[in-house]
Amino acid sequence: MKHGVYSILKARFLLDEDAIKNWRFIVFIILLAIAMIANTQSYEQKVFRIAELTNEVKELRSEFVDRRSELMKLKMESTIAQKMEAKQIKPSTVPPVKIKVKKEEEKGFFSQLWQ
The DSSP 8-state label assigned to residue 93 in this structure reads S
* Residue 31 forms part of a structural domain: yes
Q: What does the pLDDT profile of the chain (115 residues) look like in tens digits?
A: 566 676 666 676 677 777 777 788 889 999 999 999 999 999 999 999 999 999 999 999 999 999 999 999 999 988 888 888 888 888 888 888 999 888 877 777 777 666 6
* Residue 84 forms part of a structural domain: yes
The DSSP 8-state label assigned to residue 87 in this structure reads T
* Residue 48 forms part of a structural domain: yes
Element (H, E) at 47: helix 19-75
Q: What is the pTM of this model?
A: 0.52
Total structural domains within the chain: 1
